[in-house]
Amino acid sequence: MNLKKLQLTKLKIWLSLFLLAGIYACQPVVNETESDQASKNEWPSYQGDNSRNQYSPLAQINKDNVNNLKVAWEYKTNDIDPDGRAQIQCNPIIIDGIMYGSSPRLKIFAINAATGEEKWVFDPNANAGDKKMNFGRNVNRGVTYWEEGNDKRILFTSGPVLYCLNANTGKLVNTFGIDGQTSLKQNLGGRSVELYVVSTTPGIVFKDLLIIGTRVSENVDAASGYIRAFNIKTGEVVWTFHTIPKPGEFGYDTWPKEAHNSIGGANSWSGMSLDEEREMVFIPTGSAAFDFYGGNRKGENLFANCVLALNVATGERIWHYQTVHHDIWDRDLPAPPNLITVNHNGKSIDAVAQITKSGYVFLFDRETGEPLFPVEEKPFPKSDLEGEETWPTQPIPTLPPPFAKQKMKENDITNISKESHDYIKGMFSNIRSDGQFIPPSREGTVIYPGFDGGGEWGGASFDQNSGIMYVNANEMAWILTMVEVGGSKNKTVSEDGGKELLADAGANIYQINCAICHGQERQGDPSGTYPPLKKIGGTFKKEEILALVNSGKGFMPSFEHLKEDEKEALLAFLLNLKDEVTAAHALGMESNKTKLPYSHTGYNRFFDHLGYPAVKPPWGTLNAIDLNKGEILWKVPLGEFEELTAKGIPQTGTENYGGPVATDGGLIFIGASKDEYFRAFDKETGKELWKYKLPAGGYATPAVYEVDGKQYVVIACGGGKMGTKSGDSYVAFALP
């Protein structure tokens, strides 16, 4: 073969290979692009994606036309709560044009995402007794979707049960667990079997695994807060991570030796995020129980208050970072971490951003857990409560600056009127207010930002194109006051003194288990979430109250684990039934001494005499934070009290619950505010561009999606928080 023919033959071969390679390479790219585009047009998981970034690339609705938004449809679940305390905190998911969500009583539904037309409804409480119905009214923030071929499933929780439904029909998948359901108490240990365990936030899916956390009591009766991975096909537990380590496990030496057998909490109630490529799941945890006194859990208390990075397939720890040591302030990490990419020192770095109730953002290298901005361990005062040993330092990020104020000083007292200012000033002089991590006290300590943040469960939105995080904040002060418990323990019991002792014992049981929500004087929660109990005997009979104690109701957990004489003593206290009890019962109560020397007077917002917050406005804000540079770009009020605006007081913002969603249309959508409006903001400037009065407060994170080329934004209107009316609908908006 001559040289010319050889060269021509080689050229033909190379051309053929090139064409084949091109055909081979192009086909998967086309398929992947179509799949990616479909995913971007939908809202396939809680908070939009596994990175939990609450961001949509859709731009059909934009800054130029957002004022034209109209209601596209409204879907009513028709199970509004007659007592006005129900909520919907659900961030619905949208897949293949179908929206899946939950109702106030945790009915799960599938509807046409373009029309709101109902396809199916599953009621976990159907054909069940009142006990399960009461469990079914716990808060739910969404559902989880899984598919393998034609096998498509919806997983969700109601009370202590994990359910698995056929996504097409809404019927139970009988091969999962027992008849489509399994217990959330699996692998939590024996002490947790009779204790309160639910799950408020959807888990996250990796292959055939559902990794999920729980909500437990925050009192001395808290169940273990272990993280579990359930097999989605069978319902079996595949792995368990002990958030309170057992002997031989990392972190065991940060607790008393028997803590794993007696202390609960350190649970993950706020959700988690997933890096599927690295096979890493990122889990935020809350405080150990009891929230406000840790004399029985001396030490740093790993893995409470941590960002945990685990191997998603095995549950093995890769790294952790503790954001609060020995928490006695209820500083749970309130939302899933955002998995993001930032530019630092000229390098693109995959990172983890964790918002906090304190108003700080912690930013970590995703693979190592090393902070990207310096974090300083700063000293804080010791506690003066008997037996308490506060940790000497707490980690404080140097950048970005906090997106909520850190200390209430005298010049921060409200200025909306002279009467309000003077009222708060008179109270302020008698309580402690020295900023973050000042220990709880009997005098009263200002918690600022309050128990709900700062940042809270609504989460933060992150724009990967700009490196900017958008997060709403509460600028609310709360007051924490500790009280001694068990004053009757040293009394001498006689036949005549038995009745008095039983009443005292009932008061102690009330103080430990009930006063946190219903108030020391049984006055109820000012927000309306927990009713007053002073005259409960005029509403319920003794046996009806006992049924409520055993089963729970609404946001009240079951107290079935209390001993029978403890329940009798509690009812004697609530109903003032001293004449019906005997010294023998009182003697029995003497053996059930309280486990801790302190309780507290409840979760009390610091309000003026008219019910407005004690600090100067703004009381609620929306913030833009550049995580590349660690700078706050802008801060604007979120919400208003229209009656104050009418008096000439500048827009104050309001307390708020639920998160933002940013879009490529240059917008941020958010409900959340107490005034019950749904709003759109310019994401570059923070300017409010549009608002709509919802049928009830939108205390949930919205979802953004597209069906047949039309963009929608939908939000659950459940109300029921901050004393506002309850609702039972989802409202979707689109351009005409």
CA atoms 394, 400, 401, 406: torsion sign: negative
Q: Looking at the predicted structure, is the pLDDT value of residue 542 above 50?
A: yes
Residue with tokens 């709101």: 116
Number of other residues whose CB lies within 10 A of the CB of residue 6: 10
pLDDT at residue 40 in the model? 78
Helix, strand, coil share (%) of the chain residues, nearest 5: 20, 30, 50
Torsion-angle region of 522 (φ positive above 0: left; ψ -120 to 50: alpha; else: beta): left
Span 202-212, average pLDDT:
98
pLDDT at residue 93 in the model? 98
List phi, psi (to 5°) of 580.
Answer: -95, 0
Q: Looking at the predicted structure, is the pLDDT value of residue 325 above 70?
A: yes
Q: Looking at the predicted structure, is the pLDDT value of residue 157 above 50?
A: yes
Q: Looking at the predicted structure, is the pLDDT value of residue 523 above 90?
A: no
Confidence of residue 634 (pLDDT cuts 50, 70, 90): very high
Residue with tokens 């009222």: 423
Q: Looking at the predicted structure, is the pLDDT value of residue 230 above 70?
A: yes
Confidence of residue 149 (pLDDT cuts 50, 70, 90): very high
Residue 695 in contact with residue 80, Cβ under 8 Å? no
Distance separating alpha carbons of residues 496 and 587, to the nearest angstrom: 12
More confident residue, 583 or 2: 2
Confidence of residue 313 (pLDDT cuts 50, 70, 90): very high
Confidence of residue 442 (pLDDT cuts 50, 70, 90): very high
pLDDT at residue 529 in the model? 59
Confidence of residue 15 (pLDDT cuts 50, 70, 90): very low
Q: Which residues pair with 378 in a beta bridge?
A: 394
Residue 708 in contact with residue 113, Cβ under 8 Å? no
List phi, psi (to 5°) of 292.
Answer: -115, 5
| Helix/strand number for the chain, H first, E second | 10, 41
Span 90-107, average pLDDT:
97
Share of the chain above pLDDT 70, in %: 84
Span 60-76, average pLDDT:
98
620: exposed, middle or buried (C-beta count within 10 Å: 0-12, 13-18, 19+)? buried
Span 540-547, average pLDDT:
77
Span 418-427, average pLDDT:
95
pLDDT at residue 650 in the model? 95
| Range with the poorest average pLDDT among 74-88, 292-306, 307-321, 441-455 | 74-88
Residue 523 in contact with residue 531, Cβ under 8 Å? no
Residue 177 in contact with residue 157, Cβ under 8 Å? no
The tens digit of pLDDT for each residue in 275-288 reads 999 999 999 999 99
| Range with the poorest average pLDDT among 143-152, 589-598, 651-660 | 589-598
Distance separating alpha carbons of residues 445 and 385, to the nearest angstrom: 13
pLDDT at residue 535 in the model? 79
Q: Give me the residue spans of the domains in the chain.
A: 486-593
Distance separating alpha carbons of residues 451 and 216, to the nearest angstrom: 17
Share of the chain above pLDDT 90, in %: 74
| DSSP run (H or E) holding 32 | helix 3-41
Which tokens go with 256?
Answer: 């008393």
The CA radius of gyration of the chain, in Å to the nearest whole number, is 27
Span 428-447, average pLDDT:
95
User: What SS3 state is found at 547?
Assistant: helix
| Range with the poorest average pLDDT among 227-231, 504-508, 613-617 | 504-508
Which tokens go with 271?
Answer: 């959700």
Q: Which residues pair with 18 in a beta bridge?
A: none
Residue with tokens 């005409």: 736
Regarding the domain with residue range 486-593, which homologous superfamily does it belong to in the CATH classification? Answer: Cytochrome c-like domain (1.10.760.10)
Q: Looking at the predicted structure, is the pLDDT value of residue 458 above 60?
A: yes
pLDDT at residue 501 in the model? 41
How far apart are the two ends of the chain, measured CA to CA in Å? 72
Distance separating alpha carbons of residues 334 and 452, to the nearest angstrom: 8
Residue 179 in contact with residue 236, Cβ under 8 Å? no
148: exposed, middle or buried (C-beta count within 10 Å: 0-12, 13-18, 19+)? exposed
Confidence of residue 537 (pLDDT cuts 50, 70, 90): confident
pLDDT at residue 401 in the model? 98
Chain-centroid distance of CA 59 in Å reads: 29
Distance separating alpha carbons of residues 518 and 266, to the nearest angstrom: 24
More confident residue, 405 or 529: 405
- Asked whether the whole model's pTM tops 0.95, one would answer no
Which tokens go with 406?
Answer: 């850190």
β-bridge pairing 209-212 and 227-231: antiparallel
What value does the mean pLDDT of the chain take?
A: 88
Distance separating alpha carbons of residues 613 and 608, to the nearest angstrom: 6
For 173-203, b where at least 16 C-beta lie within 10 A, e where not — what string?
A: beebbeebbbbbbbbbbebbeebbbbbbbbb
